[in-house]
Amino acid sequence: MRLGLFGGSFDPVHYGHLVLAEQCREQCRLDEVWFVPTRNPPHKRDRSLTPAKERVEMLELAVAGYPVFQISRIELDREGLTYTVDTLQQLHDEMPERELFFLIGADSLVDLPYWRQPQRIGELATIVAVNRGDRPLPSPADLKQMLGPDLAARVQLTTMPGIDLSSTDIRRRVREGRSIRFLVPRAVEVYIAEEGLYRETG
């Protein structure tokens, strides 16, 4: 089984997330893509996340009816800070025959060497780096300079349409009373309105 893992806060999930996951599924010939909402990411300790229940329910609405997209609670069920290497190791230990692919925005590659055990991440999974918006993908030479030759060799570059959406902007739009139509699935838009999410938060 070729399994793609797409981690993030998904606060809220939007079409940029969904298009990225689908393009990776198609181009990397993945059997499934699992969305992995994080519980307590070390790089977002300066902002309180929407409770996991609401973030998971929005994801469920977004992927409903498309069985190759699944939602994993593996990080939500873990106490303390959540690290990618721990998630990959747990999934590898549970089913070693699965081939893991870790989906990441290419703009995050520059920070990857500072993550916990980046070399081990590359050993456990192929790192699938995807362009964000109209920003170009790094060249092979850039990858080697950023990551070193061993980790760079574990990176597969993948392209998607230049959709430049962010959850931060969507939260701001809701707070300002602006439209988020066609930025998130309609069911997610209705859920945000009915639950009163993001009206007072950043």
The domain limits of the chain are 2-164
State yes or no: pLDDT of 181 exceeds 90: yes
Higher pLDDT, 78 or 174: 174
pLDDT of res. 44: 57
- Fold that domain 2-164 belongs to in CATH: Rossmann fold (3.40.50)
Model confidence at 74, pLDDT cuts 50, 70, 90, reads: very high
Higher pLDDT, 17 or 40: 17
* Model confidence pTM above 0.75: yes
State both tokens at 109. Answer: 């590659």
- Residue 5 contacts by C-beta under 8 Å, 6 or more apart in sequence? 33, 34, 36, 72, 87, 88, 91, 100, 101, 102, 103, 125
Instruction: Over range 185-198, report the average pLDDT.
Output: 98
